Amino acid sequence: MKARGNFASKLGIILATAGSAVGLGNVWRFPFMAGHNGGAAFIVLYFGCILLLGIPGMVSEFIIGRHSQSNAARAYYEISGGQRRWRLVGYLGILTSTIILGFYAVVAGWCLQYLFASLMGHLSGDADYVLHYFQSFSSHPWKPVLWAVAFILITHLVIVRGVQNGIERASKLLMPLLLVLLVLIVIASCSLPGAMAGVEFLLKPDFSKVSGGVLLEALGQAFFSLSLGTACLCTYASYFSRDTNLLKSAGQIAFLDTFIAILSGLMIFPAAFSVGVEPDAGPSLIFITLPNVFQQAFGHLPLLGYVIGILFYALLVFAALTSTISMHEISTAFFAEELNLQRKKAAWIETLVCILLAIGCSLSVGAVDSLTLFGQSLMDFCDMLTAQIMLPLGAFLTSLFIGWVVDQRLVHDELTNQGTVAEGLFRAYQFSVRYIVPLCILLIFLHQFGVL
């Protein structure tokens, strides 16, 4: 097999993995999911899912990827000692990440448009204007489609330039910058009049709103945000070095990812309550809330508001890009290595499929109302299907696989780096992937489908 792309530094690949995790899932999806499900109570369940199911799930994918050093499908096959049926979990991951990339690109395209609009100063006006701006833009017959396609093509470009030049270099600088900016905007948002109601919404749980559906949404959001359940982490871990501490890396990335999600909540809800946007506004939530923050919170310093708005959308676009790259890479690595194609050609296959999907998704929430499946727009359907069914299924199968199928000595050696780290945690990890993770996912599924 030809040499695989590699990352220049240990820090680079860990940052790239964090870059995959941190994206629109944190800044866009987390707030609207929390808003839709009652705020604080959802967040408590979300924390539970990250700790109990997310971290062990990440470690499992890391083990499979690093041990086999190959693409998603082959990794499962090889580490199972050559059982062909386990390739299917890899295929499931490739399919899931392709669907996610399809609708994710639509939202990333909205961000690109907002970057452009804030540069041009088109987003200034009162709360009604901002709401109307989003509605008329997102239902425009071709504009949002073009932005989505543009976003996929940008992803494609980075992917064909190779892992090292593309993904790694970009991740190092801009991620820390995003964090700093988020903190700044949180402060601005919390200083708006009436903002404290939003903070309360995030911090005071009302468990009467919690049902089985909320639990599944929290689980889906946790997996989505950690990039878990599609062999994405497995693909990235195939570039990890032998002495990376898998458990520690998973913990650090999960912590950072959750921290950014909470910051995003603290950025959106105080402002939403202040300007009168309903917390359950759905996917449009950040787009109809944020422009108000940039104008109102910086009312006395309009230039600062203008610059911060532009910087914010630019960094959001970048965060989305490091995530779309990771989704794209799963399929590109697979097609290149399994079909023996040049990386460039392999990347085109994924790019074209995603472009078609993105066009459908974008039209379904705008110009073409009739693009529905099971009573939902194609876009909402893809989101629901992946986050609430395919990701949990992928994580469930991976957990059973690592707990019961893979040689446990191998699992031990990978987790502990041949007995040098985390030795005491092996039993706990093993118990968790054998019993806790599969059982919890199963129970949540059964509950959702009315069996329990």
As measured in angstroms, the least distance from the Cβ of 229 to ligand TRP is 6
- The gap from C-alpha 193 to its chain's centroid, in whole angstroms, comes to 32
**Considering beta carbons, is residue 103 or 273 the nearer one to ligand TRP?**
103
Phi–psi pair at 186, nearest 5 degrees: -60, -45
Task: Tell me the C-alpha distance between 399 and 432, whole Å.
Answer: 9
**Considering beta carbons, is residue 24 or 158 the nearer one to ligand TRP?**
24
Over its C-alpha atoms, the chain yields an Rg (Å, rounded) of 21
As measured in angstroms, the least distance from the Cβ of 211 to ligand TRP is 24
Return the C-alpha torsion angle 237, 241, 242, 247, nearest 10: -50
On whether the CB atoms of residues 27 and 283 are closer than 8 A, the answer is no
Task: Tell me the C-alpha distance between 261 and 276, whole Å.
Answer: 22
As measured in angstroms, the least distance from the Cβ of 407 to ligand TRP is 27
Phi–psi pair at 76, nearest 5 degrees: -65, -40
As measured in angstroms, the least distance from the Cβ of 173 to ligand TRP is 19
**Considering beta carbons, is residue 273 or 318 the nearer one to ligand TRP?**
318
Binding site for ligand TRP (CB under 6 A): 20-21, 23-26, 97, 100, 224-225, 227, 230, 232, 323, 326-327
Among all residues, whose Cβ is closest to ligand TRP?
25
Task: Tell me the C-alpha distance between 343 and 166, whole Å.
Answer: 14
**Considering beta carbons, is residue 24 or 281 the nearer one to ligand TRP?**
24
**Considering beta carbons, is residue 326 or 416 the nearer one to ligand TRP?**
326
As measured in angstroms, the least distance from the Cβ of 179 to ligand TRP is 15
As measured in angstroms, the least distance from the Cβ of 44 to ligand TRP is 20
Task: Tell me the C-alpha distance between 243 and 259, whole Å.
Answer: 26
As measured in angstroms, the least distance from the Cβ of 327 to ligand TRP is 5
**Considering beta carbons, is residue 130 or 357 the nearer one to ligand TRP?**
357
As measured in angstroms, the least distance from the Cβ of 275 to ligand TRP is 25
Q: Which residues of 379-417 are buried (b: 16+ CB within 10 A; e: fewer)?
A: bbbbbbbbbbebbbbbbbbbbbbbbebbeeeebbbbbbb
282 contact partners, CB below 8 Å, separation of at least 6:
32, 36
**Considering beta carbons, is residue 131 or 379 the nearer one to ligand TRP?**
379
Tell me the CA distances in angstroms from 127 to 254, 283, 286, 436, one per residue in order: 34, 17, 13, 46
Task: Tell me the C-alpha distance between 392 and 382, whole Å.
Answer: 14
Structure tokens at 337: 């290595």
Q: Which residues of 144-169 are buried (b: 16+ CB within 10 A; e: fewer)?
A: bbebbbebbebbbebbbeebbebbbe
Residue that is written with structure tokens 């903070």 in the block? 199
As measured in angstroms, the least distance from the Cβ of 139 to ligand TRP is 24
At 206, is the secondary structure helix, strand, or coil?
coil
**Considering beta carbons, is residue 215 or 231 the nearer one to ligand TRP?**
231
As measured in angstroms, the least distance from the Cβ of 400 to ligand TRP is 19
Q: Which residues pair with 373 in a beta bridge?
A: 376
**Considering beta carbons, is residue 96 or 432 the nearer one to ligand TRP?**
96
On whether the CB atoms of residues 299 and 305 are closer than 8 A, the answer is yes
**Considering beta carbons, is residue 174 or 307 the nearer one to ligand TRP?**
174
